[in-house]
Amino acid sequence: MPDQQTIVLTGASDGIGAAAARQLTGRGHRVVVVGRSPEKTAAVAEEIGAPFHVADFADLAQVRALAEELTAYPRIDVLANNAGGIFTRQTTVDGFEKTFQVNHLAPFLLTHLLMDRLVEAGAKVIQTSSVGHRAFGKIDLDDLDNGRDWNANKAYGDAKLANVLFTKELHRRYADQGLAAAAFHPGGIATNFANDTSSVMRFAYHTPIRHLMTSVDTGGKRLVWLVEGTPGQTWTLGEYYERNRPGKVNPQVKDEALARGLWERSEEMLGL
C-alpha cells in the first residue's frame, strides 16, 4: 500500500473524478472532494467518508473562497485539477468565455492561491487535459476567448491545450522548488460530457457509440496512476500522458514563449 497522501480533487462529484475519489480512498489516501453540485458532491463525500467543498468554477469568487477553505488542511500532497467540460457559448459573471474559464483560468487561479502550500509539501499538480488539445486547439494570446471565431470544439481544444501549456510552464517555474506537474488524457469516457453544447462530440457521448468508450473507472485509474506514481521515476515531470504513456502533443505545446505568454496573460486576466 502506498504512503497516504492528502489529495484535493476537483470535479469529483461525477465521472472520472468521482471514480478516482473512490479508488484513492480505497487505497488508503485522504481525498478532499470538490464539486459544483452541492447534492452530488455531498453524496460522493458521504459514500467514501471524505470532507467536501462546493465551488462553481464559472464564478471566480467561489474559487477564491475554495482556496481559503483549503488552507485549513495541514498538508496538500496532490492538487488534481480535474474539473472541466465543454459548454455552449456563454460569458461568466467574471466576463470570460465559460469553457476557457472553467477549464483553465479557474484551476490556474486555484493553483496560484495554493502555491505556497503546494511548494511546502513538494506536491504533485495534475491537470486533466484531453486529446482534444491537439485535435482542435490553436491558441491566439490576443483572442483567448475566441471572440473572433467561436465554436464549441475550438473553445474546448484551446482550453485543454492551455492545460498542457500550463503544466509545461508550471514545471519550468517550480520544478526546482520541488513541485511535480503532469497533464493527462483520461480517455473517451462514457460520461455526460458535451451534453449542453453544439459540439459534434455530443453525438458520440449520447448515442449507442457510447458503449464503445472507456469506463469511468478506467479513466479514474489513469489519474490514480499519476497520483501514486513517483515523479522522475514512474512519470516524467512536466509531460502529457495518454494511457499511462507519454502522449503526442499539439505542436504549440513545444512553444516555450507561448507557454510563458499564456501564464502572463492569465495573471493579467485574473489580476494577480
Query: Can 156 be counted among the known catalytic residues?
Result: yes
Q: Which of 73, 156, 205, 241 is catalytic?
A: 156
Measuring CA to CA, how many Å separate 41 from each of 14, 71, 76, 83, 150? 8, 19, 20, 12, 31
Compute the distance between CA of residue 35 and CA of residue 56 in angstroms, rounded to an integer. 7
Compute the distance between CA of residue 119 and CA of residue 115 in angstroms, rounded to an integer. 6
Q: Encode the chain in three state secondary structure.
A: CCCCCEEEECCCCCHHHHHHHHHHHHCCCEEEEEECCHHHHHHHHHHHCCCEEECCCCCHHHHHHHHHHHCCCCCCCEEEECCCCCCCCCECCCCCEHHHHHHHHHHHHHHHHCHHHHHHHCCEEEEECCCHHHHCCCCCCCCCCCCCCCCHHHHHHHHHHHHHHHHHHHHHHHHHHCCEEEEEECCCECCCCCCCCCCCHHHHHCCHHHHHCECHHHHHHHHHHHHHCCECCCECCCCEEECCEECCCCHHHHCHHHHHHHHHHHHHHHCC
- Residues annotated as catalytic are 156
